[in-house]
Structure 1
């Protein structure tokens, strides 16, 4: 420990030379976050912060460092507590909001609320944006009533009153996570406070379409027009999306009926004086893709180009997905080259179309070749979903060395790991009965501040018992007991009782 602190002091002396400046450079925060991560001791919460003793943390430097620690909630919170102990705490509204989001992401909502109260006490009045950050995380966790109450608490804490845009955000978040009936209930109760707008109606129409209730969406469109609120191209595109994307396209007559309903929406748009845009055509193109009609897709793409409509990345991705899923991988790769030549940069979802097909074919060589191309082209970075697909694939193929290389690459790019990636990796290792590796990543996940899913916990529990690794289980249980203090009441639903024969 003494050697560690001595090394920390040496790094501290080096860091002090640049951390005291008023406008820290980007790499300053990178170096500070690296020091904090390298010296993190899960059994001594302040160990990493002690390495920064004497370093001048400015508000900007603290924010940039917390940004780099967004996937390490425990360490981020420890650093923030350390910052509060300094003579002139470098706390800012931005840092509080970022940390609130970081803690809410791992469902430590009690801590998030404490930070909001603390902001108010420090006269850093929380803004509606601060609450909306928390509201989004509450809704994603299924705590919808708490989210609505939090929205109504904004005016009590914030000097800035809630606006129709803030209300629209609440409804939009509820609808995105499928809580449309509650969104309509909240909308009806607050009609007199927040006057209905085209944006609010579009959000509700989107919500019903997301649930596949197109008739309800059309009812709201009719109500909107009767109120004298003119729908725009976004409103019609949302309805068109609901007509096209939430229906079964097989057998053939259903595909034809969907196309006919889509044309009716197109006619309604034109009769309202609104011309379909590139998104409108993209939705229709997606229908052909879902119906696995590669020739129709290619014909439609050519027709759009002839009319002067430039395909965007969504359109190209939809076509590539259709070609790849139809087994036309060479044509899909040619189209990928074509879109790059046309100046349209592919996104991670574009490459994921290839990775999914390679996973289905168990073609490890082609998947690695495409991943290498993706990295070398540098047109877009792999997403969290990209890594999930690849890790699942190579776990199935029992290529653990490749899995570890991809995992390290993911950490280097800063994409993760997040809860989903840890869950996929641990479950995959459990299926291979690689219990020691599974335990290693399980503990790492907890130390990084992620609360394991109940299914992950139980899968590992059963596996260790069946493998007669009771000693390992007891060590894990001890670790969980220690961490339960950090996770608080959200940890109490887990089965922590020791196994009895």
Structure 2
């Protein structure tokens, strides 16, 4: 609620700036759609995940792979457990989502449904709200549940709430919850801090992440361990702060003895920044310090070689030769390629549209008793789809299922993108229905919905668009910022001003702050279409909403922020 209040406040500020910036009496085409604006519009949309043509992020998987090789490090990972089946949690979530201001009727609505609040139910509700990006509703429910007689939040509930607050950069409130946990529980766990540190790093606040790590000692009532330090280094490297991570490593390696995994994390960080020379220096330092490289080390270096966009034939040959040399070095140290090794190579070959090379590696895997996984198959299927070899892609999909590997949503998205490029909406809908009936791992994701929404908006089949939108809402996959941005811009292009304003307000009510380009596009479109009265009504609506919620959560220190 308070998150929405501040989103509304920032929205109003942007509306006022937009109104002041453009003279209402001057509407030349050049003024309304200057080249700089078009470039800005394109840049903003290019940042959205729906435009990412890579179906498999091997680098992201590799980062998780580095950590998952050690069970002790898994305990410090900032991941949150999955959702479990719970009819009560689904009912509560539906009630909360359907009511914009749950404080007035929340208790009565829940009691009428005969639901008793327990720690497990609250945790499951928060997880579902997190998937729906409903942070303001989640905080309202979190505070309300805490005030119920005989109820106490679990550590897991606090962790989910800290994660959601960090995502919207309300770090002061997140710290308040951590302090609150310290007063309730014997000690705050490492997981709570790992979540906070990850959110700091994701927000580009690396210094604050390190301070949070240093402050952790007073809450844990013990000195940070080497595993805790690896968690910090991994988080910094994952979000592009490899230089800072290396400086921290050099300063504190006397306190935290480095091992192979520590060096793997740093090597990964520099490889991610395309600094191969520094990564190699770290490898040499690692060997000199008596830390033996592992198969993970070589997979990180292999990803650095293969992960660059070397699509030209000459560059592809150079990449292939360098990869083969690294594999020779890897085998000379007694390490055999694993499934991640093959996945990295297939991803590179698939990006270069070398389907035959992909098939060769797939056969080699099976000969070496290395079972392909969903990532491996998806790399090959994506390559075949791009080349238009759909029959072979379908055959490989069947082979994949026969081998006991279930396709993921990312696998099916490869087919959907081809259908989108061909404007074949019927086949796309047919596959979409199959995905809905498929096992959980194959269910549509946000990227699936984005692909479909963009396709049917382009085809001007708005009835299908809104059906998909409702499905996305009911399944708990959003809508998120990208979904709203895509839909609102499509409605503006079609001059559907009422619907555009409706979803614009709905977006802000959910606590999602629209991008500047969305404000400007909607404003200019309304003015150009002689809809000044609609603009004023929209502005007044946001002002009323801001006043309505401004006094909520007085005990929490919320800060408005801009993107």
So what's the TM-score if we normalise by structure 1? Answer: 0.86
Does residue 305 of the first structure (1) align with residue 366 of the second (2)? yes
5 Å-filtered alignment, 1:228-243, equals: 228-243=290-305
Query: Contact conserved, 2:350 with 2:379, CA < 8 A, in 1?
Result: yes
Q: 8 Å contact 2:173–2:558 — kept in the other structure?
A: no
Aligned to 1:249: 311
Partner of 1:279: 340
Match of 1:60 among 112, 120, 138: 120
Partner of 2:329: 268
Offset, 1:489: 6.7
Mean alpha-carbon deviation: is it higher for 305-314 or for 146-155?
305-314
CA distance in 2, matches of 1:254, 1:458: 42
Aligned mates of 1:28, 1:424 — CA distance in 2: 33
| Matching residue of 1:199 | 261
* Secondary structure at the counterpart of residue 422 of structure 1: helix
Give the number of the structure with larger relative contact order, counting CA–CA contacts within 8 Å between residues 6 or more apart: 2
Separation in 2, partners of 1:91, 1:377:
35
In structure 2, how many angstroms separate the alpha carbons of the residues matched to 1:167 and 1:423? 39
Matches within 5 A, 1:413-432: 413-432=475-494
* Distance of 1:434 and 1:125 partners within structure 2: 54
Q: 1:216 to 1:386 in 2, by over 3 A?
A: same
Aligned position for 1:14: none
Task: Give 1:288's aligned residue.
Answer: 349
2: distance between equivalents of 1:215 and 1:25? 49
CA contact (8 A) 1:249 1:258 kept: no
How far apart, CA to CA, are the structure 2 residues paired with 1:464 and 1:318? 44
Deviations along 1:414-473, one digit per CA (max 9) or x if unpaired, are 222222222222233233332222222222222222232333333323333333333333
1:96 touches 1:115 (CA, 8 Å); kept in 2?
Answer: yes
Of the three residues 407, 411, 415, the one matched with 2:469 is 407
1:46–1:236 distance in 2 versus 1, CA, 3 Å: farther
Q: Secondary structure at the match of 2:369?
A: coil
- 1:14-61 per-position Cα deviation (integer Å, ceiling 9, x unaligned): xxxxxxxxxx982222223333333x243x744324534696422222
Structure 1 equivalent of residue 109 of structure 2: 51
The answer (yes or no) to whether the contact 2:169–2:561 under 8 Å persists in 1 is no
Secondary structure of 1:86's counterpart equals coil
- Superposed displacement of residue 84, structure 1: 2.7
Return the alpha-carbon distance in structure 2 between the equivalents of residues 101 and 242 of structure 1.
30
Question: What is the match of residue 197 of structure 2?
Answer: 135
Distance 1:456 1:138 in 2: 26
Counterpart of 2:425 in structure 1 is: 364
CA distance change for structure 1 residues 461 and 258 in 2, over 3 Å: closer, same or farther? same
Count of residues in correspondence between the two structures: 468
Once the two structures are superposed, residues 209-229 of structure 1 have per-residue CA deviations (whole angstroms, 9 ceiling, x without a partner) of: 112222221111111111111
> For 2:507 and 2:222, how far apart are their aligned partners in 1?
38
Q: Quick one: which of 225, 242, 261 aligns to 1:180?
A: 242
Between the aligned partners of 2:497 and 2:559, the Cα distance in structure 1 is: 26
The change in CA–CA distance for 1:398 and 1:161 in structure 2 (over 3 A counts) is farther
Contact 2:378 2:410 in 1 (8 A): yes
Counterparts of 1:211-226 in structure 2 under 5 Å?
A: 211-226=273-288
Distance in 2 of aligned mates of 1:373 and 1:493: 40
CA contact (8 A) 2:342 2:361 kept: no
Q: Equivalent of 2:393, from 315, 327, 332? A: 332
Label 1:225 to 1:339 Cα distance change in 2 as closer, same or farther (>3 A).
same
Gap change, CA 1:249 and 1:138, over 3 Å in 2: same
Distance 1:310 1:81, change over 3 A: closer
- 2-structure distance, mates of 1:396, 1:203: 43
Give the aligned CA root-mean-square deviation in angstroms: 2.5
Q: CA deviation at 1:316?
A: 0.7
Structure 2 residue 320 is the aligned partner of structure 1 residue 259: yes
Give the 3 Å change call, closer, same or farther, for CA 491–431 of structure 1 in structure 2: farther
- SS of the residue corresponding to residue 141 of structure 2 reads helix
In structure 1, the partner of 2:379 is 318
Partner residue, 2:511: 449
Q: CA 1:133/1:492 → structure 2, altered by over 3 Å: closer, same or farther? A: closer
Q: How far 1:292 sits from its partner (Å)?
A: 0.9
1:452 partner SS: coil
The change in CA–CA distance for 1:41 and 1:241 in structure 2 (over 3 A counts) is: closer
What is the match of residue 209 of structure 1? 271
